[in-house]
Amino acid sequence: MSENPKVVLINPPVVKPSEPPAGIAKLAGCLKANNISYQVIDANAEGIHFLLGQTEVENEWPDKWSRRVCENLETNIAALRNIETYKNKSRYSRAAQDVNRVLQLAGKPYGVNLTLSDFTNNMLTPVKSADLLRAAQMPDNNPFYPYFSARLLGLFQEDPDYIGFSVNYLSQALCAFAMIGFIKNFNPRLKIVLGGSLVTSWAAFGMRKDKFAGLVDEMIAGAGEEKLLELLGVENKKINCAPDYDDFSARLYLSPGFILPYSASRGCYWRGCAFCPERAEVNPYLPLSLAQVNQELAQLLEKYQPVLVHFLDNALSPAMLKNLAQYPPGAPWYGFARISNELADEDFCLALKKSGCVMLKLGIESGDQDVLDKLNKGINLTDASAALLSLKKAGIAVYVYLLFGTPQEFEASARKTMDFTVAHSDCIAFLNLAIFNLPIASAEAQNLQTDKFYEGDLSLYSSFHHPAGWDRQAARNFLEKTFKKHPAVAPIIRRMPEFFTSNHAPFFSMQS
């Protein structure tokens, strides 16, 4: 390695192209503070724009819709970047669906279902290490190959020492390995570092880096700053640094202005929920001091002038919420919070609104108190009801998460959840409905009869035999045939922003 190492950090496709990658920005801030030469590449946003730009109107498309969306592509991209579009859900939906259709057309020749939020391959799955190795062996079978082959060849001229990939979602894994395979084919001596949330989960479940011998030289689980600096041989390390977004242009993203992602903490301050991945992966709760948060936010907002701040914390603590109410960041903001006494206080919610809060995401999960207690959620439905009412009165939109099919739930419980949702439908702006996945490493899994969820050695979940027979299919049928069709629930479902979901939901809230 050179005396002054050069590092490249890459965010691979595919994730929602609405905002820059926070993890890479955090690493960039750390490398800059330690005087390490680096470059960042949001290959996700760049690659999506590349594929969209390859569309030619004169091509013979399979139907009139395909031809129309290609002809109107620039108009629809501009619409997603225009805040006025978010005043009209129908106009937004049409723009998002039409841009997405162009991406789907780009993926079809490769046997890939490519969308603005996902990437699945008909022949390969990211939960099989053998398939990830196949993706690396055949990088030209990836629809992003024309983009990343040219981009990486230009990069090689700068002679980097390390190229790091941040892989947070399964939807990124196949593309990441296709890019890694291309790099290693060109220069086997170039060092590849793999990190990100998905890699952290793999490591927690016992996967070693030699699973990808010859491709991946280092795997970093958890926070990457200190470990990356150790790898680079940096002494007197500066670790606790603000993120740096200098190299992420707002023009890359399909949002009405620059969104600033920011984390005031790592891990979860509750960490008590049954089946909690944070607990299973032994991730500690590490909050920044409120003074540091205030200082960094002031500097970041002055520098980047974001239209929205996205707090990435697993849950904003009551102390952090009070701090935001007392010291408003200076821009509209949203994030995830737990039901608490503070949120049941109307005056406190009004203070949050005045501080710029436009939306809070709340994981209520169930409308059955017995289920919540057995899951150790630490949520009281009376408090949840009061919080929803207080937030509604304050003018803060609520994005509610509900979870169906847990081992503690059965059909009567699910109907209680529907009843709770209906009773509070005027307080709920958006609904995220999920079917429970059983984490392989959870202690609670030991008490259930389990089977393989996916046929793959990298699967993070198990299927299980539900104690009450309320299996995934039964829960899904209830959701699709009963819950979503309720006249009080259906309008909430229709409000969900296609593909971008919670990332674009605040913009609709800002227009009301």
Q: Does a structural domain hold residue 36?
A: yes
Same domain for 263 and 228? no
Q: pLDDT tens digits, residue range 316-370?
A: 999 999 999 999 999 999 999 999 999 999 999 999 999 999 999 999 999 999 9
Same domain for 38 and 129? yes
Same domain for 270 and 183? no
Q: Which 3 state secondary structure label does DSSP give 279? A: helix
Q: Which amino acid is at 483?
A: F
Q: Give the structural domain span for 389.
A: 255-436+487-511
Question: DSSP characters for 345-405?
Answer: -HHHHHHHHHTTEEEEEEEEE-S-HHHHHHTT----HHHHHHHHHHHHHHT-EEEEEEEE-
Same domain for 215 and 267? no
Angstrom distance (rounded) from CA 508 to CA 497: 9
Closest CA to 253 of 97, 375, 77: 77
Same domain for 138 and 2? yes
Q: Does a structural domain hold residue 501?
A: yes
Q: Does a structural domain hold residue 352?
A: yes
What is the value of pTM for the model shown? 0.95
Q: Is the pLDDT at 60 greater than 50, yes or no? A: yes
Q: What local confidence, expressed as pLDDT, does residue 282 receive?
A: 67
Contacts of 283 (CB under 8 A, 6+ apart): 200, 222, 266, 267, 268
Q: How does residue 3 score in pLDDT terms, banded at 50, 70 and 90? A: low
Backbone angles phi, psi at 271, to 5 degrees: 50, 30
Among the candidates 238, 267, 295, a domain finishes at 238
Q: Does a structural domain hold residue 278?
A: yes
Closest CA to 205 of 438, 436, 439, 23: 439
Q: Which amino acid is at 337?
A: A
SS3 track for 281-295: CCCCCEECCHHHHHH
CATH number at residue 344: 3.20.20.70
Same domain for 368 and 329? yes
Same domain for 347 and 218? no
Q: How does residue 1 score in pLDDT terms, banded at 50, 70 and 90? A: very low
Instruction: Tell me if 279 sits within 8 A of 441, measured CB to CB.
Output: no
pLDDT higher at 468 or 336: 336
Report the pLDDT averaged over residues 130-142: 97
Q: Does a structural domain hold residue 151?
A: yes
Q: pLDDT tens digits, residue range 224-262?
A: 888 999 988 888 888 889 999 999 998 999 999 999 999
Report the pLDDT averaged over residues 298-310: 98
Q: Does a structural domain hold residue 468?
A: no
Angstrom distance (rounded) from CA 503 to CA 501: 6
Angstrom distance (rounded) from CA 384 to CA 376: 15
Same domain for 85 and 111? yes
Domain count, the chain: 2
Same domain for 47 and 136? yes
Strand locations in 353-458 (E): 357-365, 397-404, 430-435, 438-439, 450-452
Q: Does a structural domain hold residue 364?
A: yes
Residue for token pair 């979870």: 403
Q: What local confidence, expressed as pLDDT, does residue 4 receive?
A: 77
Q: Is the pLDDT at 157 greater than 70, yes or no? A: yes
Closest CA to 91 of 75, 106, 71: 75
Same domain for 233 and 298? no
Angstrom distance (rounded) from CA 301 to CA 138: 43
Q: Is the pLDDT at 58 greater than 50, yes or no? A: no
Q: How does residue 59 score in pLDDT terms, banded at 50, 70 and 90? A: low
Question: DSSP characters for 323-334?
Answer: HHHHS--SS-EE
Among the candidates 206, 238, 270, a domain finishes at 238
Of all residues in the chain, the percent with pLDDT exceeding 70 is: 95
pLDDT higher at 442 or 484: 484
Angstrom distance (rounded) from CA 267 to CA 512: 33
Same domain for 275 and 205? no
Q: Does a structural domain hold residue 446?
A: no
**Helices 170-186 and 129-137, interaxial angle, to 10°?**
40
* Secondary structure letter of residue 156 according to DSSP: H
Q: What local confidence, expressed as pLDDT, does residue 352 receive?
A: 98
Same domain for 229 and 295? no
